[in-house]
Amino acid sequence: MKRTITVMMILFLCFGAFAKPSANDVTVALAAITDSTIASIAGFLNNPPLELPGLSLMFRERESLPYALIFRDSDLGSYLPVFEKTRAKSDESFFASLMRAAKGPLNDIALQYLTVHAWEDGHALLNGAAVTSFGEGVTLSSLMGSALMNGGMRAIAVAVDVRVSGRRVSEPVSVKGVFIIKSDAQGYFEIEPVELTINGEAPYV
C-alpha cells in the first residue's frame, strides 16, 4: 500500500509538472507579462521614476535605459495604486495637465491597461526577467521626446523568461520568448508575440 501511494505521488508530480495550461491561463499570463512591461516602461519614464513593487531595473554603465527588468514576486495588482497617484485631478488646469503629461508621458496608457484588465492583489505574481532592446541610438531623452510628441514610442523588443502564478491562473505558467511592443500613429499600443514557449511547449505565436 505504501509503495502504491509513493508511485501515485511520483506520477502526480510528473504529470503536474508537464500539464498543459488552459487557454485562459495562457491568456492571463501573456496579459500579465505585457501589462507589467508597459507599466515598467511608463514607470521609469516618469520624473521622478515610479517604484513598482517587486520590480528592479538593471542598467549598464553610461546607459540611460534599462537593459533588463527583474521580477521578484511582483504583484501586478500592486501597480495600479502607484499609477493612480499620478492621475489627473478633477479641478486640474490645462497647464497643470501639460506639466503632468510631461512628467509621465505614458502613465495614462499604463493606467488604461491595468484598469481594463482589472488586476487586483494576488491575481498575478511575476518571477523572472525581461531583457529589453530599445534600438540603436535610442536614449532616455529621445524616448521621452517620442512619447511626448506622439503619445507612443518606437518598437521595443522584449525577451522574456517569466513565471506567472496567482489567483487568476489555475496553475503557474512559464513563458519564454520574444515580444515586440510598438505604437501606431495614434499612439495605440500593439503587442506582437514573435516566438513563445509556454511551460516548455512550442510554438505559441
Measure the CA angle with vertex 167, ends 113 and 29; round to 5°: 50
Q: How many CB atoms lie within 10 A of CB 64?
A: 15
Of 120 and 16, more confident:
120
pTM of the model as a whole: 0.78
Instruction: Pick the more confident residue, 20 or 129.
Output: 129
**Cross-strand partners of 73:** none
Residue 7, pLDDT above cutoff 50: no
Query: How far is the CA of 152 from the CAs of 30, 38, 105, 106, 184, in angstroms?
Result: 21, 11, 8, 8, 7
Average pLDDT over the chain reads 79
Closest CA to 110 of 181, 38, 51: 38
User: What is the average per-residue pLDDT within 38-51?
Assistant: 88
pLDDT tens digits, residue range 131-187? 988 766 666 666 666 665 655 567 788 999 999 999 999 999 999 999 888 776 566
